[in-house]
Structure 1
């Protein structure tokens, strides 16, 4: 990489990372700063450091593998844990360099949706449910994935609505994305 390429990579307006089997092999300064780390603290680390729980890290692993296997990009939104333990809502994009083994080598980009921590503090279960809600899953579907009853998921949804003082999940997700019914906030 020449000097100009390196400058562009380090100062890109989004966090960039290259992973091999979910281990961070390269990242730019923007990526590290976004989550409150020095770059040297992340290189060689498992992506696990950016997730609240071991369970969350493992559950998220297979999401998006199908498009990656077809050599297509994958994108979603997710909560990422910062070095201080806060959580920030990010837009995440991925493209594999190895479609035959998608997790072998992936280029990732992250953009903060909101620079402030995502509202009230959340329990690990609330984070899991919110992550699945952001992917458009129903309570029944979330219950199946998490091996819980749909009633338990409904209780967590209701708790999230109360915590964020919103009337429904659409408004909750819009608020977390930094938008309201009237446009950007």
Structure 2
């Protein structure tokens, strides 16, 4: 399917990153998305979304987030932390629309709107998993279930994060880590 000149301009200069993926493989992405993740567009085409995550666990865990919503209504959105190729963390508002609700990841269009650079100390993979769950509004039990850990482990990580960043609530922690712009 070829784009005409106006469609190409709209795609390449959209105010947010756009991606078409099939089974978690990037089939098309626009310039703003590539710039957002610190890579070249051509470098991303044909790649698994795994290249955008810092660990296999993070990649596997994020797969199931929103799956039920995509199956039921075809749409899902959240806010999540991502990382550029150089490792810098940043927050995005993520939205997805599946073209195949019966198999939500078979063909999906996604948008990524940058919200701000993540501040504070670098997070461990486990801390990132917990913060991502908190940002999606999940409880410790829900995060634990998704990560196949005990709720107590999640509570411990959450308590350490709150203390480390001088916050009293999960909402304050998310705001602090999101930095200016959220």
TM-score, normalised via structure 2 length: 0.91
Q: CA RMSD in A?
A: 1.7
Per-residue deviation, residues 20-48 of structure 1 (Å, max 9, x unmatched): 10000000000000011111111110001
SS in 2 for 1:107: strand
SS in 1 for 2:79: strand
1:28 corresponds to which of 27, 30, 36: 30
Matched residues in 2 for 1:2 and 1:128: separation? 41
2:8 corresponds to which of 1, 6, 9: 6
Matched residues in 2 for 1:178 and 1:117: separation? 5
Partner of 1:65: 67
Partner of 1:82: 84
Matched residues in 1 for 2:68 and 2:148: separation? 22
Report how far residue 139 of structure 1 moved.
1.8
Per-residue deviation, residues 71-110 of structure 1 (Å, max 9, x unmatched): 4310011111210012211110000111221111100000
1:94 corresponds to which of 90, 96, 99: 96
Indicate conservation of the 8 Å contact 1:120/1:163, yes or no.
Answer: no
Gapped runs of 5+ residues in structure 2? none
Q: How many residues align?
A: 180
Matched residues in 2 for 1:62 and 1:149: separation? 19
**Closer/same/farther in 2, CA of residues 62 and 140 from structure 1, 3 Å limit:** closer
Partner of 1:126: 127
Gapped runs of 5+ residues in structure 1? none
